[in-house]
């Protein structure tokens, strides 16, 4: 199914026509700093390791600190201090999002920042872009609902929850969605997804929630795009460009492969992200691509992780379209220079972009082995 979700794609967040979001700016706009403050706080905490409960939720001490820092997430005056992460739905959404984006990972009973997480924590503009692209959580149905929510909020006026539910349900009814039982989603199903989108938007600093003076306390709220949200989603639509479709074969294990796709305006780092998702890896090691198709091939053809210590190397932060690839081109990719997970990439096709989310995994075949053995995760 094709989802008109371009407002949520990575290129939308990188080509907004607002220099305040650009990661290249020396001075970061205060709207960007305010929006990314919760994410940067959790990433910073996870540098030393955030304690987790037996169910891998954030520990009580972390939950209470979040409630104190962002009192709008929890009414302490009415309910007292929170005890569990599940009580702070916005914090829970933030935790889930950072894990989905592979900016944090679990190491035993601790939450740890990945290399990519450290990189984005130091670049609020790029972090905001990554968060904005995740508003739909990488799910086609959720992205379609999120588009409807954004369309309703773009008008500049605040909306109540019921208006957003109605807008999302109207959009869903125009598309051939069906649940596991084959029936179309009902209003309650759509409303639940709207709630997820709004909590995620608030966690990412893109949506603001404030009491509705016309409604009883705790029952009525108005929703609006935050200043950063208007900065990100209030502009025009970026031009769709070509999509590069690769066949990715895991060289370490026979029969494990995937088909992945990235837009030409996205960097090799996005292709790396798609490989990570395809094979279930955690982005916490260095990696390199060799455009000559040979593992550890010619240095001149190597494009490596932006966090590599070798400053003379080509960085993987280069748009795929600038590599002059033709259909049939072969690329070698190595992840984790210690264990050396090797992937052979072959450019299968160059297509026109649609409204789908990119980068994305199109198909998978076979089961990739675990990145790490079970023993030693607590180390």
Binning pLDDT at 50, 70 and 90, where does residue 217 land? low
pLDDT at 251: 94
239, 273, 291 - which closes a domain: 239
pLDDT at 308: 57
pLDDT at 189: 92
Nearest of 176, 123, 163, 147 to residue 237 by alpha carbon: 147
Are 76 and 98 in contact by the 8 Å Cβ rule? The answer is: no
32-57 tens-digit pLDDT: 999 999 999 999 999 999 999 999 99
pLDDT at 49: 95
239, 263, 288 - which closes a domain: 239
pLDDT at 233: 82
Residues 78 and 227 placed together within one structural domain of the fold: yes
pLDDT at 262: 92
- The residue among 249 and 182 whose pLDDT is bigger is 249
Instruction: Tell me, yes or no, whether 374 lies in a domain.
Output: no
Instruction: Tell me, yes or no, whether 113 lies in a domain.
Output: yes
Residues 247 and 265 placed together within one structural domain of the fold: yes
The two tokens of residue 131 are 């968060």
Q: What is the CATH number of the domain that holds 247?
A: 3.10.290.30
Q: Which of 97-101, 144-148, 339-343 has the lowest mean pLDDT?
A: 144-148
Residues 269 and 226 placed together within one structural domain of the fold: no
pLDDT at 157: 67
183, 205, 239 - which closes a domain: 239
Q: What residues have CB less than 8 Å from 300, skipping those under 6 apart?
A: none
Residues 203 and 295 placed together within one structural domain of the fold: no
Residues 127 and 254 placed together within one structural domain of the fold: no
- The average pLDDT across 344-364 equals 85
Which alpha helices (H) appear in 86-213, and where do they start and end? 89-100, 115-121, 124-133, 140-153, 161-173, 187-203
Domain assignment of residue 350, given as a range? 242-365
Residues 177 and 258 placed together within one structural domain of the fold: no
Q: Which of 97-106, 301-310, 362-371 has the lowest mean pLDDT?
A: 301-310
Domains contained in the chain, number? 2
Residues 66 and 140 placed together within one structural domain of the fold: yes
DSSP state for residue 49 in the 8-state scheme: -
Quick check: 6 pLDDT over 90?
no
């Amino acid at each position: 199914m094709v989802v008109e979700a371009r407002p949520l794609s990575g290129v939308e967040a990188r080509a907004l026509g607002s220099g305040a979001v650009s990661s290249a700016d020396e001075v970061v706009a205060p709207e960007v700093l305010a929006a990314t403050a919760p994410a940067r706080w959790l990433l910073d905490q996870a540098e030393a390791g955030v304690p987790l409960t037996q169910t891998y939720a954030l520990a009580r001490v972390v939950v209470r600190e979040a409630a104190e820092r962002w009192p709008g997430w929890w009414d302490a005056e009415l309910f007292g201090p929170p005890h569990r992460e599940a009580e702070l739905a916005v914090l829970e959404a933030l935790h889930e999002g950072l894990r989905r984006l592979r900016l944090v990972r679990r190491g035993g009973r601790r939450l740890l920042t990945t290399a990519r997480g450290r990189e984005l924590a130091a670049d609020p503009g790029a972090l905001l872009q990554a968060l904005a692209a995740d508003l739909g959580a990488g799910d086609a149905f959720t992205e379609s609902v999120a588009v409807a929510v954004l369309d309703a909020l773009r008008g500049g006026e605040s909306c109540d929850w019921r208006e957003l539910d109605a807008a999302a349900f109207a959009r869903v009814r125009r598309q051939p969605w069906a649940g596991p039982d084959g029936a179309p989603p009902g209003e309650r199903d759509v409303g639940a997804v709207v709630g997820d989108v709004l909590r995620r938007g608030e966690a990412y600093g893109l949506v603001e929630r404030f009491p509705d003076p016309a409604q009883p306390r705790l029952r009525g709220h108005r929703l609006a795009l935050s200043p950063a949200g208007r900065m990100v989603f209030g502009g025009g639509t970026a031009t769709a460009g070509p999509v590069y479709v690769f066949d990715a074969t895991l060289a370490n294990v026979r029969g494990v492969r995937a088909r992945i796709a990235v837009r030409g305006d996205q960097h090799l780092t996005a292709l790396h992200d798609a490989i990570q998702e395809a094979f279930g890896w955690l982005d916490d090691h260095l990696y390199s691509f060799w455009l000559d198709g040979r593992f550890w091939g010619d240095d001149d053809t190597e494009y490596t992780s932006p966090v590599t210590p070798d400053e003379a190397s080509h960085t993987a932060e280069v748009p795929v379209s600038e590599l002059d690839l033709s259909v049939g081109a072969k690329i070698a990719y190595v992840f984790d220079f210690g264990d050396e997970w090797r992937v052979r990439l072959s450019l299968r096709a160059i297509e026109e972009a649609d409204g789908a989310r990119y980068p994305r995994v199109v198909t998978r075949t076979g089961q990739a082995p675990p990145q790490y053995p079970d023993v030693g995760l607590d180390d």
